[in-house]
Homo-oligomer: A and B are copies of this chain.
Amino acid sequence: MTTGTPAAEADAHRDTIERLREQVCALHAELPRWNLVTWTSGNVSARVPGADLMVIKPSGVSYDDLRPEHMVVCDLDGRVVEGRHKPSSDTAAHAHVYRLRADVGGVAHTHSPYATAWAARGEAIPCAITAMADEFGGDIPVGPFALIGDDAIGRGIVDTLEGHRSPAVIMRGHGVFTIGADPAAAVKAAVMCEDVARTVHIARQAGPVPRLPQEHIDALHERYRNAYGQ
């Protein structure tokens, strides 16, 4: 799809990369705002459209201190192309998703507490409320336990989301990964995932919670995708 070295690609997409550094940095502020992250956990990335590159958070940097120039440019094997910082320790997982899913332009990852509680039990979140049908189009599925550091997490994300409408997967014993056409959509899915994980958890504490009928889920999701927003 592209040619030349990753560094040459980065030069050829200079303006886009600078814009994505700003956007990815700004989107990170949504994670503490919606109480999805603790200390330095969590990360967001964006694909550089038209290049085999991505822009991602540096590892272990405080959310207060994040600046656009700290964002790291990596190729889609997770190798650093530009940046004075080490990239997120989850870079390999993000990169794998971009390599296998050409439709994905953004990825987000959190250990948000309610969603991670479902992950700790390894239980999918049943689609029990209309907000969940809207955004996720069904249950939020559980992916396998996988160790960090190689393609295992990325493969688990891609394999699990295959055949689901949900842009979110809860990885067993770990936390949440979300995908989107762009990084804002991935962050929105992470925010909504925690919201519905919390509401359905609270609901079930007091009694059985029925799944919505599939035909209603289908109708809600279809409408939300086509009629909601500006």
Contacts and interface: CB of A to CB of B under 8 A. Distances in A.
Nearest to A208: B121
A24 interface: no
B198 A228 contact: no
Contacts of A86: 229-230
A113 B195 contact: yes
Interface string A22-66: 000000000000100011110000000000000000111100000
Interface size band for A: 35 or more
A86 B205 CA distance: 38
Contacts of A116: 129, 131, 199, 203
| From A119, A121, A128, A202, residue with most partner B Cβ within 10 Å | A202
Interface in A207-224: 207-210, 212, 216, 219-220, 223
Interface of A: 34, 38-41, 58-61, 85-86, 89, 111, 113-114, 116-123, 128-131, 145, 147-149, 173-175, 188, 191-192, 195, 198-210, 212, 216, 219-220, 223, 227-230
11 contacts: A41-B131, A59-B228, A89-B223, A113-B198, A116-B199, A120-B199, A121-B207, A129-B174, A201-B206, A204-B206, A205-B205
